Amino acid sequence: MPKFHSLKVKEVRRETDGCVSVAFEVPESLKPEYRFIQGQHLTLKTELEGEEVRRSYSICASPFDDTLRVAIKKLEGGRFSTFANEKLQKGDSLDVMTPMGRFFTDLNPNNEKHYVAFAAGSGITPILSIMKAVLQREPKSEFTLFYGNQRVDTIIFREEIEGLKNEYMGRLSVFHVLSRELQGSELFSGRIDAEKCSAFCDKLVSPQQVDEYFLCGPESMIHEIRDTLTAMGVDKSKIHFELFIAGLNGKAQKKQKESRSVEASIQITLDGNTFEFPLASGSDTILEAAQKAGASLPFACKGGVCCTCRAKLLEGEVEMDVNYALEPEEVEAGYILTCQSHPKTDRVVVDFDS
């Protein structure tokens, strides 16, 4: 079961103007719990202005480096990411959940695979972890990275990636794609989308000879690349993807259980506004039903991991499909993950402000 421990910040390193990476000190006794697999993420928790805030961020280190480090890109209005970019310092402590996530394939030193990754912006974070692990553990495998950013100065981990290219010469190919800075070639200017993906497959990789694809970036990019690759005949099982939404990536996680909701009337309070809507019996969660009713509720992963959709149940009963984010005391106190909750009574009252 995932668990929080308080870990000391070992280093806050500025990667770009809008992104830091944060390394943690892991005491010897906790090392087994913080052993991670390439591509996994950590949920961080702290108190900001008297309120608990938690967010998940992908690990950018390789599991073979003896480092636990995440990257945190500053988001507009992002409380945690702003705090991490502007205030967090070496020696501070944060509550860190044990690593989670399934964005990886098993490594084997005998593999002779070709991996191709498409990343945009901070979507590079889990990809960097995967890339380093593959290059370290699979000496006969090769890796091709297509990495989209606005400009050269917003490329996160630029130097580290250059270093890897030199270290693993011949096995790592990197193609930067910039949307707000002119490049010599049109092929590498613009956003990574369906058209670019087709062009890359035409000119730089043979899609049928690629063993695994890893995609991480905004939803639209992931869908476009995935659809383009499948239309070219790439088997879906070779395409692994993770959305980054507010630094959290749980959406790709499969629900372990699909509870059914009873027909109910739901009342929600958010930012002081109260609204009510019906939820038909079926498999919709409270969050899904609210979205269908036109409400805009906070959420990120929809996978029961990030806690963004947390609210307090004031009346009625619900059942959650999975819960990787709430502590037993919170559940005890009536908190629920609305992205995982199904009503069990005909009236449910939920408060996001509590």
- In a 10 Å sphere around its CB, with 0-12 CB exposed, 13-18 middle and 19+ buried, how is residue 33 labelled? middle
Cβ proximity to ligand FES, 225 vs 337, nearer residue: 337
> Smallest distance from the beta carbon of 27 to ligand FES, in angstroms?
28
Size of interface with ligand FES, in residues (CB under 6 A): 15
Four-CA torsion 289, 102, 161, 72, nearest 10 degrees: 50
Site membership for ligand FES, residue 337 (CB under 6 A) = yes
Q: Tokens in use for 138?
A: 């699979």
> Smallest distance from the beta carbon of 348 to ligand FES, in angstroms?
16
From residue 194, alpha-carbon distances to 30, 187, 199 in Å are: 44, 12, 9
Cβ proximity to ligand FES, 166 vs 256, nearer residue: 256
Site membership for ligand FES, residue 307 (CB under 6 A) = yes
Among 308, 320, 341, 343, binds ligand FES (CB under 6 A): 308
Site membership for ligand FES, residue 44 (CB under 6 A) = no
Site membership for ligand FES, residue 300 (CB under 6 A) = yes
The tally of CA atoms less than 13 A away on the side-chain side of residue 79 is 13
Site membership for ligand FES, residue 136 (CB under 6 A) = no
Cβ proximity to ligand FES, 228 vs 323, nearer residue: 323
Cβ proximity to ligand FES, 229 vs 307, nearer residue: 307
Among 302, 318, 335, 350, binds ligand FES (CB under 6 A): 302
> Smallest distance from the beta carbon of 309 to ligand FES, in angstroms?
3
Query: Under a CB-based contact definition with an 8 Å cutoff, are residues 126 and 247 in contact?
Result: no
d(CA 159, CA 161): 5
Query: Under a CB-based contact definition with an 8 Å cutoff, are residues 128 and 157 in contact?
Result: yes
Cβ proximity to ligand FES, 18 vs 123, nearer residue: 123
Cβ proximity to ligand FES, 75 vs 174, nearer residue: 75
Cβ proximity to ligand FES, 101 vs 304, nearer residue: 304
Candidates 90-98, 235-243, 253-261, 299-307 — which segment interacts with ligand FES by CB under 6 A? 299-307
Cβ proximity to ligand FES, 200 vs 335, nearer residue: 335
Among 143, 146, 244, 299, binds ligand FES (CB under 6 A): 299
Contacts 24+ apart (CB under 8 A), 330-337: 335/310, 335/311, 336/286, 336/310, 336/311, 336/312, 337/304, 337/307, 337/309, 337/310
Among 70, 301, 313, 336, binds ligand FES (CB under 6 A): 301
How crowded is residue 238: how many other Cβ atoms within 10 Å of its Cβ?
A: 17
Buried b (16+ CB within 10 A) or exposed e, 182-200: eeeeeebeebbbbebbbeb
From residue 245, alpha-carbon distances to 41, 114, 233, 242 in Å are: 13, 28, 28, 9
Binding mask 247-266 for ligand FES (x = CB under 6 A): ---x----------------
Four-CA torsion 312, 318, 101, 71, nearest 10 degrees: -20
Nearest to 287 by CA among 271, 303, 273: 303
- Contacts of ligand FES in 317-336 (CB under 6 A): 325
> Smallest distance from the beta carbon of 336 to ligand FES, in angstroms?
10
Among 336, 339, 348, 350, binds ligand FES (CB under 6 A): 339
Query: Which stretches of the chain bind ligand FES, using CB under 6 A?
Result: 250, 299-309, 325, 337, 339
